[in-house]
Amino acid sequence: MPKGKVYLVGAGPGDPKLITVRGLEALKRSDAVVFDRLAGPQLLGQIPDSAERIYVGKRPDRHTMKQEDINQLLVDLALQGKTVCRLKGGDPTVFGRVGEEAELLKKNGISYEIIPGITSAIAVPAYAGIPVTHRDLASSFSVITGHESPDKLDRSIQWDKVTNATGTLVFLMGVAKIGYISEQLIKHGRPPSTPVALVRWGTRAEQETLTGTLEDIEEKVKAADFQPPAVIVVGNVVRQREELRWIEDKPLFGRRILVTRARSQASELSSRIDELGGEPYEFPVIETRMPERPDVIAAIRAALADAETYDWVLLTSVNGVEYFFRWLELCGIDIRRWHRAEFAAVGPATAAALKARGVIASPLPEKFRAEGLLDSLADRLKPGQRVLLPRGDLAREWLPEELRKLGLEAVEIDVYENALAAPKDRILLEMLEAGDIHAITFTSSSTVTNLLEALRRMGVDRPEETLRGIDIACIGPVTAKTAEEKGLRVAATAKTSTLEGLVQTLIELNAHRKK
């Protein structure tokens, strides 16, 4: 069997977008991923479903696997012919013990690449508004391990030289030794009033910053029960924080938000959450697909073949638009055959999807749901008119029923089907158990029912109890009603049933939490 290859990849400090392009490529092509606890949960979502996942995280008081065993594991996986990604927090060459791993790979004749990452020594202070250098304050900086015991620190660090060698000192993994570190720096010449900052879980939703001086920082750490992992910054650059702090001032900072939309649609909402300082975690519980039942397909073809007979085409979702045009192409039906029909859409997103295909919808309803659409067209809908409703298989029956009451002929076609997407996600379960999911967004009734079912399939007996205490934000009243009927507590419903309306609701919820 040919040997595999190992990529020793720096994952960056936690924010998944801080991994390098090359690192992400290596992650996505891997057959096995060996990762530690500093790799962000979103980034782990990029691991191929077929890849083996092996957690080897280390805590100050407990190691899942000894370093020697990790080294051998990489060799063993590669000898099985696998492409392996060793995903390490920060940069693998900065206290990442990558040298030991690479040495054993070399000895066994296994091909490997070292892919640098953004080190937490620079990125974490930057996310707290602290540049490690500044023209007027510090022209150089040092990166020092703070993880060892005091006697080992004394052997590995020449305090008399390090203390004043550079303007800024950055200690990694030194929270437990902060008192000893401060003592040594003062002893060797740093003023007791020297500013100090500890940044915990920097670049992630849990980011927390504690500031003080060499003289009082140990006391502050104890009083706040400030736990690792954290980066320690010593020097006058810490004073820049009050002026340069940026991500903490964003409206969704500190919130990890579960996005349940279909994978093809999740990116827009996730991007807005990210822009506003939140941390989106995508768990798509719904997927759309073309119908396969012969009777459904026959009904679609028959309805579309009568293109010239319709007075209206009413579209209630972006998916409805997309699949309607897919069927037109599949059936070879020219859009010009619909010259008699007027197109109407629920909501600006649906109207925009139509416009992108060269069709301008009728004026939008004030309420972006079926009821609003009917109200806005009430004076133009006449008995005897024929209406086509291209929708999904789970669409409500309210609209066609009301159209028929008004004397119109409503032709419904299920141009797409909604299916449960239930990926098994151990990381999500761990975050739910630890209270690390702060809000959940629901954009349809299907996302509500499917999330609950997905959790049941992953072994959660009472998912509604698991989600208790998490802010539930719904895109509209119909979705909110479904959530409440399923036993969930809805914290807020968007005032306008759009993604931007949902985002605004999340902002308001977070502002309320901060009060």
Contact (Cβ atoms closer than 8 angstroms) between residue 116 and residue 38 = no
Gap between the Cα atoms of 39 and 15, Å rounded: 9
Gap between the Cα atoms of 228 and 91, Å rounded: 18
Gap between the Cα atoms of 485 and 306, Å rounded: 40
Cis status of the peptide bond prior to 229, with omega within 30 of 0: yes
Residues 6+ apart with CB under 8 A from 33: 27, 44, 47, 51, 52, 53, 54, 84, 85, 87
* C-alpha radius of gyration, the chain, whole number: 28
Count how many Cα atoms sit within 13 Å of the Cα of residue 14 in the half-sphere of its side chain: 24
Q: In the block, which residue shows the tokens 């040495």?
A: 103
The helix-helix angle for 67-79 and 98-107 (nearest 10°) equals 40
Gap between the Cα atoms of 9 and 256, Å rounded: 25
- C-alpha distances in angstroms, 127 versus 120, 246, 400? 10, 7, 52
Contact (Cβ atoms closer than 8 angstroms) between residue 364 and residue 347 = yes
Gap between the Cα atoms of 508 and 151, Å rounded: 51
Gap between the Cα atoms of 455 and 463, Å rounded: 6
- Selecting among 173, 177, 414, 471, the annotated active-site residue is 173
Contact (Cβ atoms closer than 8 angstroms) between residue 462 and residue 483 = no
Q: Side chain identity at 383, as an amino acid letter?
A: P
- Selecting among 58, 355, 481, 486, the annotated active-site residue is 58
To the query of whether residue 481 is one of the catalytic residues in this protein, the response is no
To the query of whether residue 458 is one of the catalytic residues in this protein, the response is no
139, burial (CB in 10 Å: exposed 0-12, middle 13-18, buried 19+) = exposed
Q: Which residues pair with 234 in a beta bridge?
A: 169, 196
To the query of whether residue 88 is one of the catalytic residues in this protein, the response is no
Sheet strands (E) in 216-275: 230-234, 256-259
Residues 6+ apart with CB under 8 A from 514: none
Sheet holding 32-35, edge to edge: 52-55, 32-35, 83-88, 5-10, 111-115
Count how many Cα atoms sit within 13 Å of the Cα of residue 367 in the half-sphere of its side chain: 12
Closest listed residue to residue 240, CA positions, set 118, 125, 142: 125
Gap between the Cα atoms of 459 and 117, Å rounded: 36
- C-alpha distances in angstroms, 353 versus 200, 245, 281? 43, 39, 26
3-state secondary structure 15-54: CHHHCCHHHHHHHHCCCEEEECCCCCHHHHCCCCCCCEEE
- Selecting among 5, 15, 31, 36, the annotated active-site residue is 36
Question: Which of the residues are catalytic?
Answer: 36, 58, 173
